[in-house]
Amino acid sequence: MKLKCSRKPAFPWFGMDIGGTLVKLVYFEPKDITAEEEQEEVENLKSIRRYLTSNTAYGKTGVRDVHLELHNLTICGRTGNLHFIRFPTAAMHRFIQMGRDKHFSSLHTTLCATGGGAYKFENDFRTMADLELLKLDELDCLIQGLLYIDSVSFNGHPECYYFENPSDTQNCIKRPCSLDNLFPMLLVNIGSGVSILAVYAKDDYKRVTGTSLGGGTFLGLCCLLTGCETFEEALEMASKGDSTNVDKLVKDIYGGDYQRFGLQGSAVASSFGHMMSKEKRESISKEDLARATLVTITNNIGSIARMCAVNEKIERVVFVGNFLRINTVSTKLLAYAMDFWSKGQLRALFLEHEGYFGAVGAFLELLKSSDDA
């Protein structure tokens, strides 16, 4: 996917995706600044670049995902690195205040933003920082961002991966793969909630369905059930728990497999089904509850995704979204579910930049680029 710029906007180059739980920000750091440009560069611009690129953490909750940085990209005739930054949506007002303090409006009067927060915080950007938001459709941005990142590759490595032997926990191995012959694909975007898209071409897609039970549900329930405060804490607890202490399995009902319909005894028959028992409730740990919550949400998403793939007659299923960040439990569980229930016909695919594609799509819109095959 070659970018052809009809105009070259002034630096800094940003794209934002303001979600219900997380804000994702991409920033292009030019590495080919000439001595003349550096001399003419205003202090505000230098200050912003230094602040964003010399730190990996911003305040208590902002993080630059250094491991995702893309090096030596050539965009609109400029060479540089693309940085990926995230912070909780709850901290949005602090971010706007920082933009005001660094006099961002003296450099740009408009920011390209997508996600529901582009509407929710539009007036705050205007009144607090004298900035206008160019609001972009989040699903358009998601697809355009995904296609661009896949086209430039991940610093020479494939962006896409899958799990080999997903049914064998001992030999389940992450493998890189290419997204050749991409269309059609079922794109499952797991953020606070879930949207499922059938994508037939870069400009031809439809939203098939979705579910309100997504990453926000997982974290919200974990906060209620365990007292945790963050996504990272919830996943750490889940990694140490045993969901079978909470969920009722097929073997708990049948004493083994339900052979007539090929249901293994280890399959979940009733999520949280053991919690009807006072004795079971008294014996479980917070870690078990976190693991069961994660498995419940993930299994539900996998089930819906598989049904959509069958109904739409699509064999390529791609999972994205920040719910999958540092979440190998869910990625492996989704891989297993797709493989098992489709009898090997469906393979779950995942992408390294998980939840940043919407922000990348907004960034591309800033550049007013067009595709040149």
The predicted structure's pLDDT at residue 5: 67
Question: 21 and 113, same structural domain?
Answer: yes
The DSSP result for 58-70, as a single string, is: ETTTEEE-GGGPE
Domain boundary among 228, 255, 283: 283
Tell me how far apart the alpha carbons of residues 95 and 83 are, in angstroms, rounded to a whole number.
17
* Neighbouring residues of 225: CB distance < 8 A, sequence distance ≥ 6: 286, 289, 290, 293
What is the average pLDDT across 16-22?
95
Q: Residue 293 domain-assigned?
A: yes
Q: Residue 365 domain-assigned?
A: yes
Domain boundary among 257, 283, 309: 283
pLDDT at 221 over 80: yes
Q: Residue 149 domain-assigned?
A: no
Question: 253 and 206, same structural domain?
Answer: no
Question: 326 and 189, same structural domain?
Answer: yes
Q: Residue 5 domain-assigned?
A: no
Containing H/E element for 373? none
% of the chain with per-residue pLDDT over 90: 77
Question: 88 and 27, same structural domain?
Answer: yes
Tell me how far apart the alpha carbons of residues 363 and 26 are, in angstroms, rounded to a whole number.
7
Eight-class DSSP state of 213: -
Read off the pLDDT band of 3 (50, 70, 90): low
What are the contacts of 103-107 at 24+ separation with CB within 8 A? Answer: 103/44, 104/44, 104/48, 104/129, 104/131, 105/129, 105/130, 105/131, 106/42, 106/44, 107/10, 107/11, 107/12, 107/42, 107/44, 107/45, 107/48
Of 138, 159, 287, 365, which is the active-site residue? 138
Q: Residue 8 domain-assigned?
A: no
Question: 314 and 366, same structural domain?
Answer: no
The predicted structure's pLDDT at residue 6: 59
- Of 29-43, 126-140, 172-186, 260-274, minimum mean pLDDT range: 29-43
Question: 335 and 237, same structural domain?
Answer: yes
The predicted structure's pLDDT at residue 371: 40
Residue with tokens 């990694």: 239
Question: 336 and 215, same structural domain?
Answer: yes
CATH number at residue 39: 3.30.420.510
Question: 268 and 291, same structural domain?
Answer: no
Read off the pLDDT band of 43 (50, 70, 90): confident
What is the average pLDDT across 35-57?
87
> Residue 110 CA to chain centroid, in angstroms?
25
What is the average pLDDT across 246-274?
93
What is the average pLDDT across 14-32?
95
pLDDT at 1 over 80: no
* Neighbouring residues of 324: CB distance < 8 A, sequence distance ≥ 6: 190, 330, 331, 350, 354, 355
Please say if 69 is a catalytic residue.
no
State the Cα angle at 67 between 63 and 73, rounded to 5°: 105
Residues 92-121 as b or e (16 or more Cβ within 10 Å = b): bebbbebbeebbbbeebeebbbbbebbeeb
pLDDT at 258 over 50: yes
Question: 259 and 198, same structural domain?
Answer: no
pLDDT at 70 over 60: yes
- Number of structural domains (the chain) is 3
Question: 64 and 110, same structural domain?
Answer: yes
The predicted structure's pLDDT at residue 110: 82
pLDDT at 344 over 50: yes
CATH number at residue 181: 3.30.420.40
Instruction: Please answer whether residues 196 and 312 qualify as being in contact, where contact means their C-beta atoms are separated by less than 8 angstroms.
Output: no
Better-scored residue on pLDDT, 44 or 4: 44
Q: Up-side HSE of residue 324: CA atoms within 13 Å toward CB?
A: 25
Residue 29's CB is within 10 A of a number of other CB atoms, namely: 17
Alpha helices (runs of H) in 241-356, residue ranges in sequence order: 250-254, 278-283, 286-312, 328-341
What is the average pLDDT across 196-203?
95
The DSSP result for 112-163, as a single string, is: EEESTHHHHTHHHHHHHH--EEEEE-HHHHHHHHHHHHHHH-BTTB-SEEEE
Q: Residue 73 domain-assigned?
A: yes
Q: Residue 345 domain-assigned?
A: yes
What is the average pLDDT across 253-260?
92
pTM value is: 0.92
Question: 164 and 71, same structural domain?
Answer: no
The predicted structure's pLDDT at residue 175: 96
Question: 262 and 201, same structural domain?
Answer: no
Q: Residue 49 domain-assigned?
A: yes
CA-nearest of 370, 313, 322 to 350 is 322
- 274: containing domain: 247-283
Enter the tokens of residue 26. Answer: 């991409």
Encode pLDDT of 223-243 as tens digits. 999 999 999 999 999 999 999
Encode pLDDT of 328-343 as tens digits. 999 999 999 898 888 8
3-state DSSP assignment of residue 314: coil
